[in-house]
């Protein structure tokens, strides 16, 4: 699809390798229309599809979506059930199209909390898309940034206690190897929709030097042009990683 923004992204050339998204505002989108929250989430699934297509067009290699937080388990049972059902539906409906696009899906988070049916659906989409070389898609489900770091600390403490590692062996690389995002480079760009200026316990370790783009658009209204706009915003940034800029 022709897009003037996409042309500008390509001209600049500096496409973010890894884009992470906090998909927020499904509930408000539904409320504004007098609809149940579930319909907001369902509409949000269309934005997921559209954003993946946009990411492949722009040449983004890794996309990470915050689909369900550890805190989300505390939402009303009906909403949790409907989000899990949506995830299963997503796996069923999108598998063929994801394969065709070369998207390799990874599901990261506390998977042991999924029910059997959801676990099967996750296995199906992960196994079914293995080897896709165009885009790596990380779906963060039952995920929390603090929980992830705490889990790493426990893994490392156990290894030290077993004598496999000494305290002096511990460094950023060793810790990185214990995160859910093992071997995934940190996000270059983090997008948050719905105009909230918060990180909400998302990828706390990984976003140390990530550029932030916050848009007022509610997630169900988010489309590829909004993704391209975020990439163009990223391309205007001067990333210094704590160093001084090039003058």
Q: Does 24 bind ligand FPP (CB under 6 A)?
A: yes
Helix (H) or strand (E) holding 75: none
| Closest distance of CB 90 from ligand FPP, Å | 4
Q: Identify the residue whose tokens are 């940190």.
A: 186
HEC string of 90-109 equals HHHHHHHHHHHHCEEEEEEC
Annotated active-site residue in 17, 72, 201, 223: 72
Per-position x/- string for 119-158, each x denoting binding to ligand FPP as judged by CB under 6 A, each - no binding: --------------------x-------------------
Residues 6 or more apart whose CB falls under 8 angstroms from that of 207 comprise: 20, 186, 187, 190, 199
User: In angstroms, what is the minimal distance from the CB of 4 to ligand FPP?
Assistant: 27
Q: Is 44 in the site for ligand FPP (CB under 6 A)?
A: yes
Residue partners of 66: CB distance under 8 A and separation at least 6: 20, 21, 22, 23, 140, 143, 200, 202
From candidates 15, 90, 107, 228, binder to ligand FPP by CB under 6 A? 90
Asked if residue 41 lies in contact with residue 26, where contact means CB atoms within 8 angstroms, the answer is yes
User: Minimal distance in Å, beta carbon 96 to ligand FPP?
Assistant: 16
Residues 202-231 as x/- pattern, contact with ligand FPP by CB under 6 A: -----------------x------------
8 Å CB contact between 224 and 60: no
Smallest gap from Cβ 153 to ligand FPP, in A, equals: 27
Q: What are phi and psi of 17, to 5 degrees?
A: -70, -40
19, HSE (Cβ side, Cα atoms, 13 Å)? 28
Q: Which of 25, 109, 144, 187 binds ligand FPP (CB under 6 A)?
A: 25
Task: Please say if 72 is a catalytic residue.
Answer: yes
* Chain residues in the site for ligand FPP (CB under 6 A): 23-28, 41, 44-45, 48, 65, 67, 72, 83, 86-87, 90, 139, 219
Q: Which residues are catalytic?
A: 24, 72
């Amino acid at each position: 699809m022709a897009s003037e923004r996409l042309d500008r992204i390509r001209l600049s050339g500096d496409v973010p390798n890894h884009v992470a998204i906090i998909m927020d505002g499904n509930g408000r989108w539904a409320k504004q229309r007098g609809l149940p929250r579930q319909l907001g989430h369902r509409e949000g699934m269309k934005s997921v599809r559209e954003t993946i297509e946009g990411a492949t067009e722009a040449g983004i290699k890794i996309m990470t979506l915050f689909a369900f937080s550890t805190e989300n388990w505390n939402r009303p049972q009906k909403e949790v059930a409907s989000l899990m059902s949506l995830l299963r539906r997503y796996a069923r409906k999108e598998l063929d199209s994801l394969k065709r696009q070369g998207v390799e899906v990874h599901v990261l988070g506390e998977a042991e909390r999924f029910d059997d049916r959801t676990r099967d659906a996750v296995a199906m989409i992960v196994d079914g898309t293995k080897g896709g070389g165009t885009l790596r898609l990380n779906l963060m489900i039952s995920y929390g940034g603090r929980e992830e770091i705490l889990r790493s600390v426990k893994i490392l403490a156990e290894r030290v206690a077993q004598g496999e590692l000494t305290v002096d062996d511990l460094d950023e690389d060793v810790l990185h190897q214990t995160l859910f995002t093992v071997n995934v480079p940190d996000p270059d760009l983090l997008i948050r929709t719905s105009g909230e200026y918060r990180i909400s316990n998302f990828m706390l370790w990984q976003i140390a030097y990530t550029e932030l783009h916050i848009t007022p658009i509610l997630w169900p209204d988010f489309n590829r042009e909004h993704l391209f706009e975020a990439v163009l915003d990223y391309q205007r940034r001067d990333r210094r990683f704590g160093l001084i800029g090039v003058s």
